[in-house]
Amino acid sequence: DAGITQSPRHKVTETGTPVTLRCHQTENHRYMYWYRQDPGHGLRLIHYSYGVKDTDKGEVSDGYSVSRSKTEDFLLTLESATSSQTSVYFCAISQGGGELFFGEGSRLTVL
């Protein structure tokens, strides 16, 4: 199994609070991704990173920011959580155009 750890795995928070999800990998892969999964939408890309401090937006990036200060860590931040950001968040890694591997997901509920 790919060495990908997401934390927290479950979180309940209130509207307007900041939330940070962490993805940690032990594979030394260059590319890291954050997807969200919602019923009827499949998986949609939020942000991705192609190296340390190199990040870019995906198709549903509004309301999210990311940071990657080390190869192994990719953080997703919701500055002010809204109910529409209730979702399951998946981190994924790849070695550049190659096979993508997913973490176990983080379930976020915004009340």
Partner 1 sequence: GIQVEQSPPDLILQEGANSTLRCNFSDSVNNLQWFHQNPWGQLINLFYIPSGTKQNGRLSATTVATERYSLLYISSSQTTDSGVYFCAGLSNSGYALNFGKGTSLLVTP
Contact positions vs partner 1 (CB under 8 A): 33, 35, 40-45, 48, 50, 56, 58-59, 88, 90, 97-102, 104-105
In the 8-state DSSP scheme, what is residue 72?
T
In the 8-state DSSP scheme, what is residue 52?
T
Of residues 42 and 62, the one with the C-beta less far from partner 1: 42
| Contact partners, residue 109, CB within 8 Å, separation at least 6 | 11, 12, 13, 86
Find the shortest distance in angstroms from Cβ 43 to partner 1: 4
Cα(50)–Cα(48) distance, integer angstroms: 7
Of residues 22 and 57, the one with the C-beta less far from partner 1: 57
Of residues 35 and 74, the one with the C-beta less far from partner 1: 35
